[in-house]
Amino acid sequence: MTAKEIDKFRKLLSVTLTELKESIVYLTEASKPITPSCALGRLTRMEAIGEKGVNEAMLLNSKARLIRLENAMIRMEAGTYGICVKCKKEIPLGRLEAVPEALICINCA
Ligand SMILES: [Zn+2]
């Protein structure tokens, strides 16, 4: 990977991290317990509980992705970013553009 490409992916990682952190803040708020005193009707309340479950699942996924993105940042500083951890070959740039936190190439995935 050239210095220019590294730079591009460093920016991509930092933008993705910023967006993800913002959505984690939002999802944490949206996953808070629903207060029974709120003036929702019974059906609306059940819908709210269903939505809360979806938000909680998204929050868990987002937190797991955050860790993977932070790992990718560490690998970038270490100079091992974009190298498949299994076969040690370079991961195609197209895959990294779609999944900047990818650790393994498509062949190994
Ligand atoms: Zn591989």
Residue 90 forms beta bridges with which residues?
83
In a domain, 20, yes or no: yes
The two three-digit tokens of residue 86, written as one number: 């299994």
In a domain, 89, yes or no: no
Ligand 1 centroid, distance to 105 Cα (angstroms): 4
In a domain, 102, yes or no: no
Please tell me the predicted confidence (pLDDT) of residue 37.
61
Please tell me the predicted confidence (pLDDT) of residue 51.
86
Taking CA atoms, 66 is separated from 1, 28, 35, 94, in Å, by 24, 14, 29, 21
Residue at 100: amino acid letter: P
Please tell me the predicted confidence (pLDDT) of residue 62.
97
What domain count does the chain have?
A: 1
Distance in angstroms (rounded) separating the CA atoms of residues 79 and 90? 12
Q: Is the pLDDT of residue 89 over 90?
A: yes
Q: Is the pLDDT of residue 13 over 70?
A: yes
Ligand 1 centroid, distance to 81 Cα (angstroms): 13
The domain in which residue 75 lies consists of 3-79
The position carrying tokens 């797991």 is: 64
In a domain, 101, yes or no: no
Please tell me the predicted confidence (pLDDT) of residue 103.
94
In a domain, 100, yes or no: no
Ligand 1 centroid, distance to 87 Cα (angstroms): 4
Count of Cβ atoms closer than 10 Å to residue 16 Cβ:
17
**Per-residue model confidence as pLDDT tens digits over 33-55:** 877 665 667 667 788 888 889 99
Which residues hold their Cβ within 5 A of ligand 1, which is an ion? 84, 86-87, 105, 108
